[in-house]
Amino acid sequence: MQNFIFENPTRILFGQGTIARIGQETKRFGEKVLLVYGKGSIKRNGIYEQVLASLKEAGMDILELGGVKSNPVLSLALKGIEIAKKQNVELVLAVGGGSVIDTAKTIAAGVKADHDVWDFFTREKSIQDALPVLTVLTISASASEMNAAAVITREEEAKKYSSRSPFLQPKTSVLDPTVLYSLTPAYTAYSAVDAITHALEGYFNNAEFEDSTLQDRIVEGLIKTIMENTEIVLKNPKDYNGRANIMWAVTLAFNGLTTAGMGAVSFPAHMISHALSALCDTPHGAALSIVLPGWMTHTLAHDPRKYARLAREVFSVRENDDGKAAAEGVRMLKSWFASIGAPTSFRQGGIPETDIDRLAGNAFGLAQTWGLKDYTKDVISSILNLCK
């Protein structure tokens, strides 16, 4: 295990009824808040009213920006930046899932920048300041509620890129498992896939590949917890303990805990899946359920030992040969994705096989930005061909 600093300053308010406390939390950081949310689901399920009531009780001056879509776009964030600057907004409150939170983070950073906020995502500039961001989580998937990352798509160039900075770390996040009761089966499945992929990217793509027993066991435990409880809530969407277990496990899967001490970590499966979202508008979790098994199949041939461990620890595979065990583990993970209703092929995701060259070119551009030198366009094409 390498030397590391682990610091996660996000304050978590977890449990039923905690939304009522968001007003007092926002009050700690200012009086004028920009409320960011999606396309209206929070108004249908009553969350909007709960948040608004709490903010008004705290005496907050509220501005609103709705309309965030899955695979959030830069143009809406730019609109939010303009509003926040003109109205002297002091903080940003995201009420939604990862797309809403990432939009709020982009706005928070853009308000403090004297240049194009996209420069943060191309890595041409680093974030030096941002407005405080708080969240009320309504979809557990990205862990953006407790990490320092943001992802946004620049539509005109079809580029889905990410930025990371301690200034993007939410100050407070409210996690009430009951808000997940209204989540559709599809997005329940996509959420599980996203969280599992977050955990596995760190599991496979770290500098301590051979000496990471503690972190491996944390990841394996989180994955089993997410899988078991996803099956429970798909049968009973209002199972509180099932939703609570998922909500907290998903957050822990990508808040820095699982990769502490692991050195440099890369996210090639996310890199490739971003191309599907940018060019085909495939939901992020669906893109990952298509890409991850193909990426695993491509990479396990180089060294199947860690893949074999996953197969044995998570899927109880009893094959002694590492190569065979690894392949069986990938098959079982892909089968589980299918069992919960997530697509596992281009055909199921509605993506034409003829798009592979275009997708590979798009992903290669991001690979260069992220410094993933082993991922040439040809390598990415080979992986995508395993996803057909």
| Predicted pLDDT of residue 211 | 72
Residue type, 324: K
| Predicted pLDDT of residue 209 | 64
Give the pLDDT band (50/70/90) at residue 321: very high
Q: Which distant-in-sequence residues (6+ apart) come within 8 Å of 182 by Cβ?
A: 41, 44, 45, 237
Q: Say if strands 159-164 and 149-154 run parallel, antiparallel, or are unpaired.
A: antiparallel
Do 4 and 69 touch, CB atoms closer than 8 A? no
When the pLDDT of each residue in the chain is averaged and rounded to a whole number, the result is 96
Give the pLDDT band (50/70/90) at residue 303: confident
Measure the CA–CA gap between 275 and 161, rounded to whole angstroms: 10
Measure the CA–CA gap between 358 and 70, rounded to whole angstroms: 22
User: Is pLDDT above 80 for 339?
Assistant: yes
Give the pLDDT band (50/70/90) at residue 270: very high
| Predicted pLDDT of residue 2 | 87
- Backbone φ, ψ for residue 107 (5° rounding): -60, -45
- The Cα angle at residue 190 between residues 193 and 135, in degrees rounded to 5: 100
- pTM for the model stands at 0.94
> Residue 112: helix, strand or coil by DSSP?
coil
Average pLDDT over residues 2-28: 96
The pair of structure tokens assigned to 200 is 């596995």
- Which one-letter DSSP state was computed for residue 172? E
Do 279 and 358 touch, CB atoms closer than 8 A? yes
User: Is pLDDT above 90 for 316?
Assistant: yes
Measure the CA–CA gap between 158 and 2, rounded to whole angstroms: 37
Q: Please name each of the domains of the chain with its CATH number.
A: 11-178 (3.40.50.1970), 185-385 (1.20.1090.10)
Measure the CA–CA gap between 40 and 47, rounded to whole angstroms: 10
pLDDT per position as a tens digit, 103-139:
999 999 999 999 999 999 999 999 999 999 999 999 9
Give the pLDDT band (50/70/90) at residue 1: confident
> Residue 25: helix, strand or coil by DSSP?
helix
| Predicted pLDDT of residue 186 | 96
Measure the CA–CA gap between 221 and 61, rounded to whole angstroms: 43
Give the pLDDT band (50/70/90) at residue 210: low
pLDDT per position as a tens digit, 225-242:
999 999 999 999 999 999
User: Is pLDDT above 80 for 9?
Assistant: yes
Measure the CA–CA gap between 307 and 296, rounded to whole angstroms: 8
